[in-house]
Structure formats: C-alpha cells, structure tokens
Amino acid sequence: MRTITSSFHRRRPDARRRLALIMACFFVAVRAVVAQTPANSQPSVYSYRHEHSPDGIGKFYQGREIAQVMGHEGADWLERPQRQAEERPDLLLEALKLHAGDVAADMGAGTGYFTWRMASIVGDGGKIYANDIQAEMLELLSKNMAEHHTTNFQAVLGTLTNANLPPGGLDLVLMVDVYHEFDHPYEMMQSICRALKPRGRVAWVEYRAEDPNVPIKPLHKMSEAQVRKEAAALPLRWVETIETLPRQHVIIFQKRTD
C-alpha cells in the first residue's frame, strides 16, 4: 500500500500541471473570441455559411444574406447623369416631407448626392448629418458640398455597429440603397433609433426585390416584406410604403414612444 500511495503522490504534481495548462489554454481561447467580437454585438442573431452568393459576405440576418459594401472606387456611379431618370430623386425628396429647420441624417451618404439636396430643403435653421463608414467617401462628400456651397451639414465617420449620430436629436434618418449592406444591421439600427427624436422617422429606400425587371443584383434589392420583418425587431412602427419611384420602395417607420 505504501508503494502505491507513494507512486500516486509522485504523479500528482504532473497531473496538476497538466490541468493548469489546459485551463490556461481554455482562458486564452475565450479571450481571443471575446477580442474578435465587436462591442455590443449580438452573435446569436446572425448565421454564417461557407457557400454563399459572390455578391454577399456569407453572413445572414433574418434569412437574408448581407451584401458586400460598394467601395469608394465606385463613387462615380452615385453621380451618374442617368440617376435622375432612373431613380427620380426629386420624387423621393417630396415623399420625405422634410421641412425648414429639420435635423436629419443621410446614412451611407457616399458622395453626398442626397446630402446637399436635403440641406437645401432644411435651410440654415436645419442640419444634415452625412454618415459613412469610409473616410474616402467623406472626403469626396466634403468636396461636393463645397461645390454646392452647402455649409449646414456635418460629416460623420461611423463604425460597423454605430452610426455615431447625436442621441435623440434627429427628425429623419434616410437610408438610400445602404441598409442591405450593413455588416451589423441589428446593432446599427439600434444606434439609429437612439438618435431619433420621439416620433422621429426612418426611411428605407431599397430597390424592389419583387420586380425582376429592376436591373440590380438580387442581394442589392429588398422586398417590402423583408424590410418590415427586420424592422419588427426595433422600436419602430410602420407608417407607409410609397411606390411612386421607378425602381425603389420608400418604406417609412416612426420611432415608438410606448
């Protein structure tokens, strides 16, 4: 018995060292996962697939694959001369019902195609926050604003999860063909909702997925049903869907106060 007991005690320090090494490796792995997870992220609301569309990022939210972001290299497409006839931005601006003195945001503003147009409507008593996650786009936007002599705006560099807009101060947030590219749509929309005034509005403008004749890649289109499904996870209520544009929905929601 002494021999067996003695043998056991000789081996126990090695067992303790192995256990300590295993636990150390476990905590290193946990820290690595946490470090790679964005702040305020909700991993459970997303799923990932190895096989996916070449136009997407392999990440899915509420059954929809998130589309790849259009880089600043494609900025000329935003300012194409055909855009007026193809999209009728004049009709969109009418549908938004902006007023002098309003404070609004242009999400994914790009070159500022809508920023300066919105700024001219709200006037000197109002303000437009031009948001983008690409600093290069904001540089192009600032040049465009100077060419249009627009000063009642502020360029805002956002992150993948936060629009970085002032809390509780916006009458309207406009998203033109940008929501479907949000890398973290749930987190980004939560930040947008925090920026709205009570009863402030959000306008989704997306190419109609229901119409096969709209010449846009499928992942860069959204159906009204999908927009309303995703908005249901937010403190928003549907107000109206406007179908006066040639290719896009205008789907408007209002911040709930209950």
Residues 6+ apart with CB under 8 A from 233: 45, 62, 186, 189
pLDDT band at 15 (very low <50, low <70, confident <90, very high): low
**Domain enclosing residue 17, as ranges:** 2-36
**114 closest CA partner among 156, 166, 176:** 176
Q: How far apart are CA 155 and CA 114, in angstroms?
A: 13
- Token pair for 96: 């938004």
Q: What is the mean pLDDT of residues 74-87?
A: 92
- Phi, psi (degrees; rounded to nearest 5) at 57: -105, 5
Same domain, 14 and 73: no
Same domain, 17 and 79: no
Q: Is residue 125 part of a domain?
A: yes
Same domain, 19 and 129: no
Give the total number of structural domains in the chain. Answer: 2
Same domain, 78 and 114: yes
3 state DSSP class of 101? coil
Same domain, 89 and 143: yes
Global pTM reads 0.82
pLDDT in tens, 136-192: 999 999 999 999 999 999 999 999 999 999 999 999 999 999 999 999 999 999 999
Same domain, 18 and 140: no
3 state DSSP class of 217? coil
Same domain, 71 and 32: no
Q: Is residue 124 within 8 Å of 153, Cβ to Cβ?
A: no
**202 closest CA partner among 191, 210, 214:** 191
Same domain, 178 and 119: yes
Same domain, 198 and 231: yes
Same domain, 11 and 134: no
Q: How far apart are CA 106 and CA 89, in angstroms?
A: 14
Lowest-confidence region among 39-43, 101-105, 164-168, 207-211:
39-43
- Token pair for 84: 């007026």
Kindly give the residue spans of alpha helices, DSSP state H, lying in the chain.
2-36, 75-78, 83-87, 89-96, 115-122, 135-147, 185-195, 224-231
Q: Is residue 45 part of a domain?
A: no
3 state DSSP class of 112? coil
Same domain, 169 and 250: yes
What pLDDT does 5 receive?
38
**181 closest CA partner among 133, 141, 138:** 133
Same domain, 96 and 14: no
Q: What is the DSSP letter of 79?
A: T
